[in-house]
Amino acid sequence: MDLNTARTKTLSLILAGGRGSRLKHLTDHRSKPAVPIAGKYKIIDFPLSNCINSGLRQIAVLTQYRSHTLNQHVQRGWNFLRSDFNEFIELWPAQQQTGEDWYRGTADAVYQNLKMIDELDSEFILILAGDHVYKQDYSIMLAEHIESGADVSVACIEVPVEEADQFGIMHVDEDNNIIAFEEKPSNPPTMPGNPKVSLASMGIYIFNTRFLRENLVTDAGDNDSSHDFGKDLIPLFVGKSRIKAHHFANSCIKNESYPDTPYWRDVGTLTAYWESNMDLTKLVPELDLYDESWPIRTTQYQRPAAKFNYNYEERIGTALNSVVSAGCIVSGSTVEQSILFNNVRVNSYSHVNKSVILPRCDIGRHCRLTRVVLDSDTRIPPHTVIGEDPVADAERFYRNKDGIVLVTQEMIDKLPPVAE
């Protein structure tokens, strides 16, 4: 089968139903894939863009936890495909189609949608997580999967062996056959010929549809299973099926400034989320969002350009080493090494440093924010100082062990008035 035909026979399923509880209050009102990132995007935009750029145009987004903002985002910004060409991006919410349970795991989420999958008559199924940030040409992985004759291919990334206990680790032979799988091992296997790195699963899989269907039905009847691809199905296939490792370095979209560093981030913790955003404020970020050959798409709204007001002593509207999105007004204040998402207002005499300010926030006069993640629609009262006193920050807001302070409007509403 040639690659163009294979693309039309591939169904991409993006698993986007998870809460992402390690992001704390950022997922109180939205699912993890709907969390804003990189100034104007949502996390879900990365796997969706990868699919479109890879030529895969039969896509279903499986949703469950607090999915309204995610559904709205996909419906408004990702409805441009041609149904008459059998192209689509559909939302598949949890519907209890196979019983009274909601999605119990990643494998169960796919199992519960087997009826829709059967109707599409695909030959290959690409399984993606909806909460990782990266750029990958899935068609390269698909071509390798077909050529190898595998039942399932698992995308893997090299990680330092000292960090391997955080991942599901693959043990492969010299032909990239997966011969063992260990979930967060204390003594992880290393790659052949390179004892410094291990091969970690990225949660990206390509299955032959018939093979996947048979095994999902079997797994659904196993009361001892947690119905998860990484914990249950992939280990089960090892030694019994043709299971291949695909090296992410072979299909990632490389940044010319970092040719030996494939970019992939699980932004599942507050620190990882903050660091991923901070990387974009560097002179040359690891994640290249300016690559016109591999655009990251998102929902577009009509907004004015960013605006900077005042040029008086001690009252200069300026941003240094920062990303400032459309609709923002920096009025007589300083923004340094920070990201301002859309429609943020920073008022006079304030200083925002190393912070991530989500959409529609308003920072009052004479404020100082350092290493802060400010949730959407939060209004910071004048003279508020955050990020300088760890004890005070922990009492008022959420402060993690790395000193990142997360602030929401609900937290602000509980504060006593600040004297001006």
Query: Could you give the CA distance from residue 171 to residue 27 in angstroms, rounded to a whole number?
Result: 34
Query: Could you give the CA distance from residue 219 to residue 295 in angstroms, rounded to a whole number?
Result: 38
307-413 has which fold?
A: UDP N-Acetylglucosamine Acyltransferase; domain 1 (2.160.10)
Residue 240 marked as a ligand binder: no
Residue 310 marked as a ligand binder: no
Q: What is the pLDDT of residues 354-389, one digit of tens each?
A: 999 999 999 999 999 999 999 999 999 999 999 999
Report strand pairing: 178-183 vs 168-172: antiparallel
The mean pLDDT value for 118-128 works out to: 96
pTM: 0.94
Residue 203 marked as a ligand binder: no
Instruction: State both tokens at 103.
Output: 């999605």
Specify the CATH superfamily of domain 3-279: Spore Coat Polysaccharide Biosynthesis Protein SpsA; Chain A (3.90.550.10)
Mention every residue, 6+ apart, whose C-beta is less than 8 A from residue 37: 43, 133, 267, 273, 276, 277
Query: Could you give the CA distance from residue 132 to residue 119 in angstroms, rounded to a whole number?
Result: 29
Q: How confident is the model at residue 419 (pLDDT cuts 50, 70, 90)?
A: low
pLDDT at 22: 87
With b for 16 or more beta-carbon neighbours within 10 A and e for fewer, the 126-146 pattern comes to: bbbbbbbbbbbbbbebbbbbb
Residue 263 marked as a ligand binder: no
Residue 183 marked as a ligand binder: yes
pLDDT at 97: 57
| Domain ranges for the chain | 3-279, 307-413
Q: How confident is the model at residue 418 (pLDDT cuts 50, 70, 90)?
A: low
Percent of the chain whose pLDDT exceeds 90: 79
Query: Could you give the CA distance from residue 12 to residue 125 in angstroms, rounded to a whole number?
Result: 6
